[in-house]
Amino acid sequence: MAKGDRFWRKVAQQDALNKAEVDGKIADSMEVRTALVEKMNRGEMTLAEVQAELKRIKRNAKKNGLVTRSQAYRGY
């Protein structure tokens, strides 16, 4: 595989991720992740609680008809 082919595949994967996030199909979107980090910074949650919540969100994504960021990047 040529170097340029890998580059364009990564660009396509990132585009797919961005489109899915804009369409609201991502369970653990950057908006959700940012909100969790803000709660941690305000002292409402500990790091362990934030990590557990993110893990729960990812686990329940399929039940809620959504995908995770990694699934969207791979093309779910």
> Mind listing the pLDDT tens digit for each residue in 21-53?
999 999 999 999 999 999 999 999 999 999 999
For the chain, what are the domain ranges?
3-74
pLDDT category at 1 given cuts 50, 70, 90 is low
Q: How far apart are CA 69 and CA 56, in angstroms?
A: 14
Give the position of tokens 């329940």. Answer: 60
